[in-house]
Amino acid sequence: MAFLDLLESSPAPAEHPGAVRAAAAAQRLSALVLAGGEPLGAGTPLAPRGGSGGSLTPPRGPRAERWAGGELEGSAALSPAAGTRTAPGASSGIAAGTGTAPSWRVGGQAGSGATREAQPGPLRAHAAAEAAPAGGGRPRASGAGPAPSGAGAAAAVRGLGVWRAMGEAGTGPGHREGPGPGPGPEPEEDEAAGGGGGGGGGGARGGRAGPRGGIRVLKRNVKRNGSRSCLNRTRFGSRERDWLREDAGRGCVYVYGRDSASCASSDLRLVLCTVDTPASEICDGEERKNLFLQLHGDLVRRLEPAEKPLQIVYDYLAGLGFDDPVRMQEEAANSDLSCMIRFYSEKPCQVEQLDRILLSGIYNVRKGKTQLHKWAERLVILCGTCLIVSSVKDSHTGKMHILPLVGGKVEEMKRRQYTLAFTSAGAQAQTYHVSFETLAECQRWHRQASTVVSMRLSMVDLSCYSLEEVPEYLFYSQDIIYLNLRHNFMRSCGPGSLDSLCRFSQLKSLNLSHNRLGEFPLSLCEISTLTELNVSCNGLHCLPTQIGKLLNLQSFWLDGNFLTSLPEELGSLQQLSCLGLSFNNFRELPAIFEKLTFLDKLALAGNLLETLDLAVLNRMSHIKSVDLRLNNLKRAVDDTPEGNKSVTYMDLRDNRLTDLDLSSLGSLEQLHCERNKLKELTLSGFSLRALYANNNCLTSVNVYPVPGQLTCLELVHNQLQCVPDWACEAKKLEVLDMSYNLLVELPSRILSSLSLRKLMVGHNNLQSLPPLLEHILLEVLDLQHNLLTELPEMLFVKALNLRYLNVSANNLESLPSACTGEESLSMLQLLYLTSNNLTDQCIPVLAGHTSLRILHLANNNLQAFPASKLSKLEHLEELNLSGNKLKTIPTTVANCKLLHTLIAHSNEISIFPEILHLPHIQIVDLSCNELTEILIPEALPATLQELDLTGNTNLVLEHKTLDIFSHITTLKIDAKPSLTTDSALTSTFWSHGIAEMAGQRNKLCVSTLAMGSFAEGVEAVYGMFDGDKNEELPRLLQCTMADVLLEEVQQSDTMFMSNTFLVSHRKLGMAGQKLGSSAVLCYIRHDMSDPASNFSLTVANVGTCQAILCRSGKPLLLSKVFSLEQCSEDAKRIKEQKAIITEDNKVNGVTCCTRMLGCTYLHPWILPKPHVSSIPLTVQDELLLLGNKALWEYLSYTEAVSAVRHLHDPLAAAKKLCTLAQSYGCQDNVGAMVVCLNISEDSCTCEMHGITLPGPGGFSSTTTKPATPSSSSGIASEFSSELSASEVSSEVGSTASDEHNAVGLDGSLLPRQERRCSLHPLPPLSIFQRQPSSATFSSNQSDNGLDSDDEQPVEGVMTNGSKVEVEVDIHCCKGKGLEFDPPALEYSSSAPGPEDDSGLVLLIQRQNSVNSGTAQGAIKEKCELQKSPSTCCLYGKKLSNGSIVPLEESLNLIEVATEAPKKKTGYFAAPSQVEPEDQFVVPPDLEEEVKEQMKQHQENGADQERKEESAVALPDEFDTAL
């Protein structure tokens, strides 16, 4: 629906009769209401009100502006007649105006009656509407005397670019409607027409907006629908549409009324304005003092009078990623946008927030614990830390009793209902009893008071309340020590502002972060008691010199500002021990740090430093910790020979350092230098305890002397070829991680280290491990992704403390024994052996590890798992046997009582294992096996959460079984195959498989979108969504994103993918305010600009979900990783926008993503604008892989492609990817999608049911089942030899009879237009298009290879396993009056695949010049045709032996060509049956040509055989390109 369709017209308010007077006209209205009437032409006289004669003509030139604004004395208030109609009975007599600019008039008002005094100031539309109901009728309140008989057209004023709509649509008592001279409402805008009556004109409902610079206010009481406002959608006037479309700078702003929990509805107004309209004009039009802005349903701030609301909306949309002004105009008028940006005419409030700020009321109060005091009515206030009780008598105003509650108690009185006893702390505690009227009120007070009395310190938390001032009653809490005003909009001056905070005499800690201060409040320098002050993220550019007055200040936080220098007076704060200056604009280390001797930490992360001057750092002898991450450091210099003995911690992450020499820092204990460009690193080892240098280009790391205190060393993702010698000599080294390096050997000293507990050397080039001679203390050993062929023989004997071993992705063929004697001492609990060459011989060795809890044996060569060995693994909790050749799972699996996860997909299991009796079983994955039936117990275990049975083609589940399985949380079974033609077409070009695994988490936060047939055409959409820790947003995107894409494709052919993400971001609504999700979306379609082109792939993504295209066996990255670590552009943008990036590298401590859908409260740091790439698909494109962050974190692109490239089943491929990620260490949610592509140069997308054989009276109607997907191009055409003639007639729709009759549809094949590909465009009627093809036709019914009418076989044809290639014309046509002789052809082909059991009916016609030759097969595989008991009979005489004799007049339909063009695709030669009786029936008149052709076949036989041998085997199916 267009955005203007959402706008509503409303009843025009009543107008007083004297509005034409100079006093009413001189009012400076700042909002104009459009009224009824037709446009005026130039110079059209204006009728004065009251029905009297005379005319008013608007002045021209500069005087016109003053007159329209009401500055000229005696001028009438005018309304722009922009095309609104008058209702029947209106007396206008106005001619239609010319031109685009609206004209102005004062409408007439007939009759006389009681007049109403002019309202002071701008007239409110809804106030006037209360006095006069819409459409005429009785008013709500009748005045003295008869009411005005005419419904006046609205008065309006054009002033300061603001328009205000108002009108009068009713009369007084006793008035009845009557006809009038005015025209009736137009049919298009009848909903906006106003009702009139009597002899006067009806008030217009819905006016026209004027020229740029104006606004129109439409008032609506919108009913609440749950937690969202719903707008009754009606038509909006076409002139308003035209007015908006004339200029993209115009638009619509939603203005909401006070939205509180006590209100049943929200007062909503739609304001038409321009980008130049300030908030003050809208406020004047609404008779409001202020306009408020709320972002993302969170904080609400007051707009300054000069701020422009529509420009704020457009800037917000541009920040999201919209760049088309017209599209931004549409988005601004969408009601869903209110979840992200919303305007209020009154500040909204919530009862819960108000309760936490202040509770007040008049209740009966009694003082003291005894009953000596009487109950009296008092004003009771709970604010801050105190209970305030005051008299309600005016004479006692100001007399208050203050009861401190911190450390006290609040209790419910048992003797009196709804009564609380408030008691202060201390020896002289006082008590007040307060009696409430209702239980709910009593509970509110009790809940808030309990929070106060439970505090140990006098703390008041007023953060995130959108406060501009603190409540006056808060200043009675003089014991406040800690005051938190974070995330508010505190003012610097005024009552309750920051200037008043000095009234708190004991205030020590003050938090004013995120208050948009702009300047440092000087009044804060007067609070001498402050010891902690936080003014982060306030846009400060400098500090005042008065800051030196805060002599007691110990912690000063200034992060997230724009500071470039510090005042010298800051050096007088000698007690300052913590100074936060991160994410400012410092370009060098401030010299003031040398004076702050108590300061021990230098926090300058996220600044603009380019050089680390160690000499300056040496002069700051008191600094112990240095945080310089996320700067622009390129080098470190040290000009002084003196060393630094104070710095113990240094963080240099995410800089641009290439070489680093910190050998002068003799006291350095911990160094972080990850994600630099370091090639060489030099350190001092005197005090070094931990070194983290991951993600660099290190080739050498020098530490001298040997670090005797070193406990942790991480050098991941570098280029080291050996383990440093000093690391082998470190006596206290406990953790060594050198994964992703170039190690070729492992020193024996490392393995024999007495201190090493964790060794991670995966993803290297290790070919062997040193022999173990002594016992080692290793507990964790990671050797995955190396070149190991065997493990040390004594590994499990010497490493008795080993708990975790991962040797996945090696070349292991055997495992060492777990014990030397009869008893095993192994303590191994986690063993990962995935992707090796292990056989059944390793199973007895595994039985020696009786403590195993997790065992992964996926993708090996296992054929059986001995039952006796499995029974010994009693502690097994997780077992993964996927990707092997297992026939069964041993029944002894029932002994594994602790087993909760069994994954055994992609095997050959035919018997369902006995696992449903296990008490703790949770996840069972038996997909892609050969299950036929399931024997289940009467009751399933209550713990079973997921059962995956997909990919078992022979499995048939009874209804009883499905009923039992219905109680499982997640049940995955194969859906029934669709018989639609679209599914047949889509399965030809692409097929997909999806795998999702929760891992160690208790919920799955990954969702996928897979639509192989999209937009009613040969298109496809695939997507993946990862919510990290939430599952709501991925599911929302899964349900809505395809619909959004379909709408955007229809609107734009260039920006559709980007707009899809932005609109989906908006449609998340309230769920997207706090939650976020990564997303990747892939769209396959034909290029609309070039219909003759092949398919193109468009990919868009945000966050960490990625898409990979396998092209010629190589991975091609189509997406971009939007994270702080991998997207430097976004990281720079976020730094410039002053977001706080925490030490764990997350934006505001929430997410590491820089772009994602949702998380609108992190705007503008986190954006939804996606990365979009488009690429044409070619014949070299094999796979499309989609995965979330967890998948690509543990699986490289190259390994993912090579792991699944050879698999024909996309489901098994996706399962394998997830299994590999889990075996490599992933414990998070992991999701994978594999799309097998079958794109070739001659990919045909024609609708196959449009291809048929002609009958005598026209064409037969045909229906086909889905074609079998194949690796070759084109549509799979299989002529099933397993169907009888009757089956063919029922399945294909043709008729096989002795009379050779065919009953067809009269003149047309299909009830709708055929979908045709670029290779087969739809021809004009009665015109055939010729397409070359090649097919193999054979018969296996004749005993002698001959039909009964053939006298003798043709020489060269009667050969064993022979094949004849003929080029025929396959006509994809549609038309009337095309009458041909029905062709007769005998043929048979291979048995159909599982998804194709019907042949395709082809129309074959002889061509005058046909060439034939050795055709290049379009497929890559040999296909052996199986013998069938019957043959397909289409047209022809059916004989007793089952063969078919073609009609004599049809024998010339097939002509064997002499020279066929040689091309790689488009021609197909299928091998015939292997039975010796296979023959091909050749018409007599073609025998000589066939003989000649067969000779050419024999000459080229050797070359043809070589080509066939190089093809890949694909059983039981072949394709014929159409």
Question: Is pLDDT above 80 for 388?
Answer: yes
Asked if residue 273 lies in contact with residue 329, where contact means CB atoms within 8 angstroms, the answer is: no
Question: Is pLDDT above 60 for 776?
Answer: yes
Q: How far is CA 1313 from the centre of its chain?
A: 36
Indicate the range of 570-579, 834-843, 909-918, 1435-1444 predicted with least confidence: 1435-1444
Query: What are the tokens at 674?
Result: 């990850």
Give the pLDDT confidence score for residue 1496 in this predicted structure.
Answer: 73
Q: What mean pLDDT comes out for the span 908-927?
A: 92
Q: Provide φ and ψ at 641, rounded to 5°.
A: -75, -15
Indicate the range of 335-339, 1069-1073, 1207-1211 predicted with least confidence: 335-339
Asked if residue 735 lies in contact with residue 714, where contact means CB atoms within 8 angstroms, the answer is: yes
Asked if residue 37 lies in contact with residue 81, where contact means CB atoms within 8 angstroms, the answer is: yes
Q: What mean pLDDT comes out for the span 220-248?
A: 55
Indicate the range of 391-405, 470-484, 697-711 predicted with least confidence: 391-405
d(CA 102, CA 91): 20
Q: Give the pLDDT confidence of 706-725 residue by residue, as tens digits.
A: 999 999 999 999 999 999 99
Residue of 257, 287, 254, 290 lying closest to 272 (CA atoms): 254
Q: Is the alpha carbon torsion for 327, 329, 335, 339 positive or negative?
A: positive
What letter represents residue 168's amino acid?
Answer: E
Give the pLDDT confidence score for residue 1481 in this predicted structure.
Answer: 58
Query: What are the tokens at 1055?
Result: 């920006």
Give the pLDDT confidence score for residue 157 in this predicted structure.
Answer: 30
Q: Provide φ and ψ at 861, rounded to 5°.
A: -115, 35
As a three-state string, the secondary structure of 37-51 is: CCCCCCCCCECCHHH
The DSSP letter of residue 301 is E
Task: Band the pLDDT of 935: cuts 50, 70, 90.
Answer: confident
CB neighbour list of residue 1469: distance below 8 Å, 6 or more residues apart: 1334, 1336, 1363, 1365, 1414, 1415, 1417, 1504
- CA 1088-1094-1096 angle, 5° bins: 65
Query: Coil, strand, or helix at residue 29?
Result: coil
The sheet with strand 659-662 has its strands ordered as 659-662, 680-684, 700-704
Task: Band the pLDDT of 232: cuts 50, 70, 90.
Answer: very low
Range ranked top by mean pLDDT from 205-209, 952-956, 1055-1059: 1055-1059
- Please count the CA atoms within 13 angstroms of the CA of 24 that sit on its side-chain side: 19
Q: Give the pLDDT confidence of 1398-1452 residue by residue, as tens digits.
A: 333 333 333 333 333 333 333 333 333 333 333 333 333 333 333 333 333 333 3
Question: Is pLDDT above 90 for 1002?
Answer: no
Indicate the range of 707-716, 760-769, 1139-1148, 1493-1502 predicted with least confidence: 1493-1502
Q: What is the pTM of this model?
A: 0.71
Q: What mean pLDDT comes out for the span 340-355?
A: 84
Asked if residue 923 lies in contact with residue 902, where contact means CB atoms within 8 angstroms, the answer is: yes
Q: What mean pLDDT comes out for the span 606-624?
A: 92
Name residue 256's beta-bridge partners: 268, 344
Query: What are the tokens at 440?
Result: 């709910």
Residue of 105, 86, 82 lying closest to 12 (CA atoms): 86
Question: Is pLDDT above 70 for 462?
Answer: yes
Asked if residue 501 lies in contact with residue 527, where contact means CB atoms within 8 angstroms, the answer is: yes
Task: Band the pLDDT of 1016: cuts 50, 70, 90.
Answer: confident
Query: What are the tokens at 1132?
Result: 């720079």
Give the pLDDT confidence score for residue 396 in this predicted structure.
Answer: 57
d(CA 513, CA 486): 5
The sheet with strand 216-225 has its strands ordered as 228-229, 216-225, 265-274, 250-256, 341-344, 292-295, 300-302
Q: Output the DSSP codes for 826-866.
A: ----EEE--SS---GGGHHHHTT-TT-SEEE--SS------
Give the pLDDT confidence score for residue 1301 in this predicted structure.
Answer: 40
Q: How far is CA 16 from the centre of its chain?
A: 54
Range ranked top by mean pLDDT from 444-458, 811-825, 1458-1472: 444-458
Task: Band the pLDDT of 1482: cuts 50, 70, 90.
Answer: low
- Please count the CA atoms within 13 angstroms of the CA of 1030 that sit on its side-chain side: 19
Give the pLDDT confidence score for residue 268 in this predicted structure.
Answer: 81
Residue of 931, 882, 934 lying closest to 906 (CA atoms): 882
Give the pLDDT confidence score for residue 625 in this predicted structure.
Answer: 95
Query: What are the tokens at 989?
Result: 């070009």
Q: Which helix (H) or strand (E) holds 250?
A: strand 250-256
What letter represents residue 552's amino acid?
Answer: N
Q: Give the pLDDT confidence of 738-773 residue by residue, as tens digits.
A: 999 999 999 999 998 999 999 999 999 999 999 988
Query: 77-98: string of b/e by CB count within 10 Å (b at 16+)?
Result: bbbbbbbbbbbbbbbbebeebe
Indicate the range of 855-869, 951-965, 1459-1473 predicted with least confidence: 1459-1473
Asked if residue 192 lies in contact with residue 218, where contact means CB atoms within 8 angstroms, the answer is: no
Give the pLDDT confidence score for residue 642 in this predicted structure.
Answer: 81
Virtual torsion, Cα 1024, 1028, 1032, 1038, nearest 10 deg: 0
Q: Which helix (H) or strand (E) holds 671?
A: strand 670-672
Task: Band the pLDDT of 1497: cuts 50, 70, 90.
Answer: low
Residue of 678, 602, 683 lying closest to 643 (CA atoms): 683
Asked if residue 1363 lies in contact with residue 1471, where contact means CB atoms within 8 angstroms, the answer is: yes
Give the pLDDT confidence score for residue 56 in this predicted structure.
Answer: 36
Q: Provide φ and ψ at 301, rounded to 5°.
A: -120, 155
Give the pLDDT confidence score for residue 222 in this predicted structure.
Answer: 40
Give the pLDDT confidence score for residue 857 in this predicted structure.
Answer: 96
Task: Band the pLDDT of 304: cuts 50, 70, 90.
Answer: very high
Q: Give the pLDDT confidence of 1236-1265 residue by residue, as tens digits.
A: 998 876 555 454 443 333 333 333 333 333
d(CA 662, CA 1200): 40
d(CA 486, CA 508): 16
Task: Band the pLDDT of 808: cuts 50, 70, 90.
Answer: very high
Q: What mean pLDDT comes out for the span 1485-1495?
A: 73
Task: Band the pLDDT of 341: cuts 50, 70, 90.
Answer: very high
Question: Is pLDDT above 70 for 145?
Answer: no
Determine if residue 739 is left, alpha or beta; phi over 0 gives left, psi from -120 to 50 gives alpha, anything else beta: beta
Asked if residue 713 lies in contact with residue 692, where contact means CB atoms within 8 angstroms, the answer is: no
Give the pLDDT confidence score for residue 965 in this predicted structure.
Answer: 86
Query: For tokens 């669709």, what's the residue?
Result: 978
Q: What percent of the chain has pLDDT over 70?
A: 64
Q: Output the DSSP codes for 1278-1336.
A: --BSSS-HHHHHHHT-----TT-----BSS-S-SSPPP--SSSPPPPTT-----EEEE-
Give the pLDDT confidence score for residue 987 in this predicted structure.
Answer: 56
Query: Coil, strand, or helix at residue 1325?
Result: coil
Range ranked top by mean pLDDT from 845-854, 1425-1434, 1507-1516: 845-854
Q: Which helix (H) or strand (E) holds 1194?
A: helix 1189-1194
Q: Which residue has the higher pLDDT, 3 or 658?
A: 658
Round the average pLDDT of the chain to a whole number and report it. 73
Q: What mean pLDDT comes out for the span 1491-1517?
A: 58
Residue of 838, 1227, 900, 896 lying closest to 846 (CA atoms): 838
Indicate the range of 33-37, 440-444, 524-528, 639-643 predicted with least confidence: 33-37
Give the pLDDT confidence score for residue 22 in this predicted structure.
Answer: 35
Question: Is pLDDT above 60 for 859?
Answer: yes
Q: Is the alpha carbon torsion for 941, 947, 953, 958 positive or negative?
A: positive
d(CA 530, CA 522): 14
Give the pLDDT confidence score for residue 744 in this predicted structure.
Answer: 95
In angstroms, the first-to-last Cα distance of the chain is 41
Asked if residue 1122 lies in contact with residue 1116, where contact means CB atoms within 8 angstroms, the answer is: no
Question: Is pLDDT above 80 for 76?
Answer: no
Q: Is the alpha carbon torsion for 118, 124, 127, 132 positive or negative?
A: positive
